[in-house]
């Protein structure tokens, strides 16, 4: 059974204070690892897909990296508008489309 664990559960940062969110996973044959952003009361918003260890993707202040056991979402010089819950999800080799999500990290960026 695919499993995803995210840490920390909550992270408070000052504006401009860079940090990283962790996503550890166990899956039988990783097909893809996905990062989403979720604002309160809304649906997940797609950020990145990573397919293989060593892959990196960037978008504005966010950079996602992948190893064989975990993924990191690095946030550089965050702004208050980056405050949200960040979700990590995996798709394993035995499924075709099903995403298994972690609990999420609640990020709060103070001005």
Partner 1 sequence: EPEVTQTPSHQVTQMGQEVILRCVPISNHLYFYWYRQILGQKVEFLVSFYNNEISEKSEIFDDQFSVERPDGSNFTLKIRSTKLEDSAMYFCASTLRGGTDTQYFGPGTRLTVL
Write out the residues near partner 1 by the rule CB under 8 A: 31-32, 34, 36, 41-46, 49, 51, 87, 89, 91, 95-104
Measured from the CB atom, the residue of 42 and 59 that comes closer to partner 1 is 42
Measured from the CB atom, the residue of 54 and 97 that comes closer to partner 1 is 97
Read off the DSSP letter of residue 77.
S
CB of 59 to partner 1, least distance (A): 13
Give 14-53 as a DSSP string.
ETT--EEEEEEEE-SSEEEEEEEEE-TTS--EEEEEE-ST
Measured from the CB atom, the residue of 17 and 58 that comes closer to partner 1 is 58
- Other CB atoms within 10 Å distance of the CB of residue 93: 11
């Amino acid at each position: 059974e695919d499993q995803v664990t995210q840490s920390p559960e909550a992270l408070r940062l000052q504006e401009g204070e860079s940090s990283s969110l962790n996503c550890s996973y166990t899956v039988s044959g990783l097909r893809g690892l996905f990062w989403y952003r979720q604002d309160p009361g809304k649906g997940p918003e797609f950020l990145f897909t990573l397919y293989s260890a060593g892959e990196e993707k960037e978008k504005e202040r966010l950079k996602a990296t992948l190893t064989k056991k975990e993924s990191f979402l690095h946030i550089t010089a965050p702004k208050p508008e980056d405050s949200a819950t960040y979700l990590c999800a995996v798709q394993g080799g035995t499924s075709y489309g099903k995403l298994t999500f972690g609990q999420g990290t609640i990020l709060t960026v103070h001005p």
